[in-house]
Amino acid sequence: MAPLRISNDRDALDVDLIHGFLSREAYWSRGIPRQTVEQAIAGSLCFGGYLQGAGQVAFARVVTDGATFGYLADVFVLPVHRGRGYGKQLVASVMDHPQLR
């Protein structure tokens, strides 16, 4: 199993991939406009999961006030990469982020 690199660098996010998954694959956001996804990313603490040679394969975002509240949203691992523990790694990394402890 290849190691998953997790980053909260917003500039590294593949917005095309995120929008594509959320608008076509996720039951909770089917048909969501790209502009809405871009606004959600801009207003959230976001995490991407990356595999060498495959690019971004996972995503999560947290809506937070940075002090007392955090709502985990839009968590996914692309179907072809599921079953390898990447989702658990991603959520563990989110929960360990200093702004969310």
What pLDDT was estimated at residue 27? 95
Tens digits of per-residue pLDDT, 10-31? Answer: 999 999 999 999 999 999 999 9
CA gap 20, 56 in Å, rounded: 13
What pLDDT was estimated at residue 55? 97
Q: Give me the residues of the chain with pLDDT under 50, please.
A: none
Contact yes or no for 62/44 (Cβ under 8 A) = yes
Residue 12's region, left for phi above 0, alpha for psi from -120 to 50, else beta, is alpha
Could you tell me which residues are beta bridge partners of residue 63? 71
What pLDDT was estimated at residue 37? 98
